[in-house]
Structure 1
Amino acid sequence: MRTHGTSRTTLRTSQRRRHTWAALAVVGALALSACGGDGKEPAKGTDGPDTSGGPSVALPRLDGEKLEVAAVWTGAEQANFVKVLKEFERRTGATVTFVPAQDPIVTFLGSKIAGGAPPDVALLPQVGALVAAVKNKWAQPVGADAQAQLDQNFSPGWKKLGAVDGTQYGVYYKAANKSLIWYNAKAFEAAGVRPPATWKELLTAADTLSASGTPAVSVAGADGWTLTDWFENVYLSQAGPEKYDQLAKHELKWTDDSVKQALTSLAELFGRKDFLAGGQSGALATEFPKSVTQTFTGGDRPAAAMVYEGDFVAVNIAQTDAKLGTDALVFPFPAVGAKAPVVSGGDVAVALKASKGAQALLTFLASVDSARIHAREGGFLSPNKALAPDAYPNDIQRGIAEALIAAGDNFRFDMSDQAPAAFGGTPGAGEWKALQDFLANPADIAGTQARLEADAAKAYGN
């Protein structure tokens, strides 16, 4: 920060706090309107979780049992989840191994099952993957203990997302608020820009930022899933929740005019080379972690001033010298239509073996105990409504978490995660590839729509 005397510095800090709290208040308001082995609390002095927020969940002894848990998480996200698994080991006597999975996870699990070595539990990042696991008869229904934790700690909407045809198969362990834009406070200050509330204001801010010498947005185009999230926020805000639901089920074709309008709006941002860090080619070569870190390094002249993605961005910000809440701030995804969007996502834990250990782990993952361990590490959002907000390490994450819980069942789930994996969850194919091609050539809206519809029709079988 460039200083101009104590009073100016204090004023700017106060303004940033107000902007942060205002943003979180808007997120909350939008969420409300948008669609030890014996089960006892760990003794003091151990490395167990802080269970002061409530009674510890009872778990069985599993001495000598070995479990494998598969997820697509890497880096800090994986390391923090392993801390949860270590606590499960301590309290049950089991040995748990984390198995790194690849996208699409359905293909990864299929190969494991075909080889006779499925993991005991998998965390699936798409609703479509859960449906596929049930259809393939891989998934086991949750047991009575896990169901009891779900009934106690989760709203009906999150339970329903983990069910298929009325049977509960999954525990939504990790959630995401995917309607957030994170920004470099110093870059905004240097350009004299304020957080925008509308799409038009976002484009104006992008123009001002780029003119000041800092590209506006860091886009992780190398990871196609981030582009689906961009599209979903624009589409939900512009087309509305009814058409969003229809498109998610492929009851509406991707050649519909509403999709054309959303891509046209997105092209206003993606079509400006000077708006993107590295231009279109640079964006296509940028993976998600780098898209975040390059936004929060370089002082008031970073590679870009903003980066879009969910609450989990905090994990990557922590890998930089930027301080969350001071150097790195957040505002809600701007309104493209009448209302700003509220899109959520998440990872659902599913048992792939009919074993006591797999069910015990599902029970633990549905408890407050596991959520508290992960929450205190940062970059994690739990749909567990019994988790106290003070479990989160900072005001920004507490505000985002409170908004999610306050939303209850009124949210729209990530559209691509509801789709068959072949369309919405496969690198280099389907929606991921079509939107990467669109980022490379944002003028080709009709061609993008045609490719999206052809791939969707094939994946949905209609």
Structure 2
Amino acid sequence: MRPPAGPQFIDKGGTAVIDSLPRGPSWDLRVSAPGCCPGQPEEESMGRLTRILAAMAIVVLGVTACGTSNTAGGKIGGTVHILGTWTGAEKDSFDAVMKPFTDQTGVKISFEATRDLDAILQTKIAAGNPPDVTAAPGIGTLIKLARAGKVVPLDDKLDTTELNANYGADWINLGKIDGKLITLYAWAALKGLVWYDPKAFSAKGYQVPKTWTELMSLQSKIVSDGGKPWCVALESQAASGWPGSDWVKEIVLSQSGTTVYDNWWQGKQKWTSTEIKQAWTTWGQILGSNGANVYGGKQYMVSTTFGDGGQGLFSSPAKCYMFNQGSFITSFFDGYTPK
């Protein structure tokens, strides 16, 4: 399973779609992207899927009772406690997916939402009060919990015949730690997408870049025209900063390839290495000195909620022309754009 080989322009009701920035970022207002940075490696592997997809996963924690009981009518009953990050439209979608299960089993779902999932999860486990099920925490935290025996392997808990019939082997393997199935991926959002408003581009005569060099030229052109190329929003409560880490991760992957990327998240690649320093320098070129290329500058970046970060795209005149965020951001766009 590979990303598109080259730029793909798709017209979707007045918004365009592009293909992939640094073999990680992509472009659009429904999206698209160019090739990245000088020296970008050509190798791609299934391992790359774990970086370009931010997938929602379900993890069953090491608890023996989920508070269930037999009830009349053959329904199980009881309550399952779930810890996750979803609110608003994402939570509504989760509820809709779970409704057939709750209707058929009589099991109630008690859902706790937090943006600080790693910290809250570990605190609950340490206190002996873990949720029954959790959305997957950061990969480092998940590996630590799995190796400490704090999560329940799913290999003998699921109908593997049904699982293999409905899931590709690569998706199943992504959920394994030390050969045991720990996580089951339920949905995925494509990361590294650069959103733009085709109408705003057209009004200024801007062309969608197909290469990193063209992106840098477009950025300079927007600045020379008196505009701000980017909107960047990093605020996310206790998890603030992750949109910035996405930027850097996408650039590392694009510039230095999968081996360096994997060594980095596994703690084998030093933050002071040439490759990691190069990625931060590249992101600095995007932001500009003191955030000069970003609408509102550094203060706007750190104080604006990630979901509101794209609002500048829809202003008239545009307050910014590009916004790097995952495919899930459309649910936030819907909240502040005309229908």
With the length of structure 1 as denominator, give the TM-score of the two structures: 0.55
Report 1:50-449 matches (<5 A).
62-103=75-116, 105-142=117-154, 143-222=156-235, 223-272=240-289, 273-292=291-310, 294-299=311-316, 301-321=317-337
Whole-Å separation in 1 of the counterparts to 2:213 and 2:12: 22
Mark the CA change 1:210 to 1:242 in structure 2 (over 3 Å): closer, same or farther: same
**CA 1:312 to 1:102, structure 2 compared with 1: closer, same or farther past 3 Å?**
closer
Change (3 A) 1:168 1:19: same
Q: CA 1:15–1:168 in structure 2 vs 1: closer, same or farther (change >3 Å)?
A: closer
**CA-CA distance at 1:18 after TM superposition:** 11
Name the CA shift for 1:106/1:281 in 2 (closer, same or farther; >3 Å). Answer: closer
Distance 1:16 1:138, change over 3 A: closer
**1:282-333 C-alpha deviation (Å, 9 max, x unpaired):** 21222201102x134324x23322110111111111112256xxxxxxxxxx
RCO greater where, 1 or 2, for CA within 8 Å and sep 6 or more?
1
In 1, the alpha carbon distance for the partners of 2:334 and 2:11 equals: 23
Flag structure 2 segments of 5+ consecutive residues without an equivalent.
Answer: 1-9, 21-30, 37-41, 46-72
Of all paired residues, the percent bearing the same amino acid is: 29
Q: Compared with structure 1, are the counterparts of its residues 203 and 62 closer, same or farther at alpha carbon in structure 2 (3 Å cutoff)?
A: farther
- What letter matches 1:312 in structure 2? F
Pair 18,251 (structure 1): closer, same or farther in 2 beyond 3 Å: same
**In 2, Cα distance between equivalents of 1:187 and 1:20:** 12
Amino acid at match of 1:118: P
The question of whether the paired residues in 2 share the 8 Å contact of 1:150 and 1:171 is answered with no
State how far apart, in whole Å, the 1-side matches of 2:18 and 2:326 are: 18
Which AA in structure 1 matches 2:146? V
Judged with a 3 Å threshold, the aligned counterparts in structure 2 of structure 1 residues 208 and 281 are, in CA distance, closer, same or farther, namely same
Aligned pair in 2 of structure 1 residues 176, 16: CA closer, same or farther (>3 Å)?
closer
Aligned-residue RMSD, C-alpha: 3.2
Query: Contact between 2:16 and 2:32, CA under 8 Å: does it hold in 1?
Result: no
Q: Per-residue displacement from partner, 1:367-400 (whole Å, max 9, x unpaired)?
A: xxxxxxxxxxxxxxxxxxxxxxxxxxxxxxxxxx
Distance (whole Å) between structure 1 residues aligned to residue 136 and residue 121 of structure 2: 10
Q: 1:206 to 1:113 in 2, by over 3 A?
A: same
Q: Across the two proteins, how many residue pairs are aligned to each other? A: 283
C-alpha separation between the residues in 2 aligned to 1:94 and 1:17? Answer: 41
Structure 1 residues 18 and 321 mapped into 2: Cα distance closer, same or farther (>3 Å)? closer
Q: Which amino acid aligns with 1:310?
A: G
Q: Is the 8 A contact 1:210 1:274 kept in 2?
A: no
Aligned to 1:346: none
Deviation track 1:123-181 (CA, whole Å, cap 9, x = no partner) reads 11422232122133221111443534432222223222211111112101122221211
Letter in 2 for 1:302: A
Q: SS state of the match for residue 158, structure 2? A: helix
Please identify which structure carries the higher helix content.
1
Cα separation, partners in 2 of 1:316 and 1:308, compared to 1, 3 Å: same
Superposed CA deviations along residues 229-273 of structure 1, whole A, max 9, x for unmatched, are 101111111112222222222222111111222222111111244
TM-score between both structures, scaled by the size of structure 2: 0.74
State whether residues 140 and 169 of structure 1, in contact with CA within 8 Å, keep that contact through their aligned partners in structure 2: yes
Does the C-alpha gap of structure 1 residues 129 and 179 become closer, same or farther in structure 2, counting only changes over 3 Å? same
